[in-house]
Amino acid sequence: MSNNTVTPAQINAILDDSVVEVQTVLGKCTVVTCQLPNGFIIVESSACVDPANYDEKLGAEICLKRIENKVWELEGYKLQSELAIK
C-alpha cells in the first residue's frame, strides 16, 4: 500500500486522543463537542421531532459518526496539501 493514504488506525488514534462532551439540549437534541488532539474543535448535533422518541445514546452515536467522517476529510485534505508541496 502507498504511503499516500489515510488509514483507519490514524483516524482511530486521533479520535481516541480527543476530548468528547455529550449534552442534551431542550429535551430532544444531542450536541457532541469533540476537541481533537491539536485543539481543533468539531461540533455536531442530532435531534428528533418528538421528545418522546429522544435517545441521547443514539444521538451521540450519530454525531460521533459524523465527527469521524469529518476527521477523515480533514486528514485527507492535510495529506493532499502535504503531497502538493513536494
CA distance 54 to 50: 7
Predicted confidence at residue 30, as pLDDT, reads 98
Number of domains, the chain:
1
Task: Please report whether residue 68 resides in a domain.
Answer: yes
pLDDT at 3: 78
Q: Residue 58: inside a domain, yes or no?
A: yes
Note whether residue 2 is domain-resident.
Answer: no
Q: In angstroms, what CA-CA distances link 25 with 14, 30, 35?
A: 27, 6, 19
* Angstrom distance (rounded) from CA 56 to CA 33: 14
pLDDT per residue as tens digits for the range 47-81? 999 999 999 999 999 999 999 999 999 999 999 99
pTM of the model: 0.93
Q: Is 32 exposed, middle or buried (0-12, 13-18, 19+ CB in 10 A)?
A: buried
Compare 85 and 17 and report the one with higher pLDDT: 17
Which three-class secondary structure state does DSSP give residue 37?
A: coil
Containing domain of residue 57, as a range?
9-85
Q: Is the pLDDT of residue 1 over 70?
A: no
Q: Please report whether residue 1 resides in a domain.
A: no
* Stretch 25-42: mean pLDDT: 98
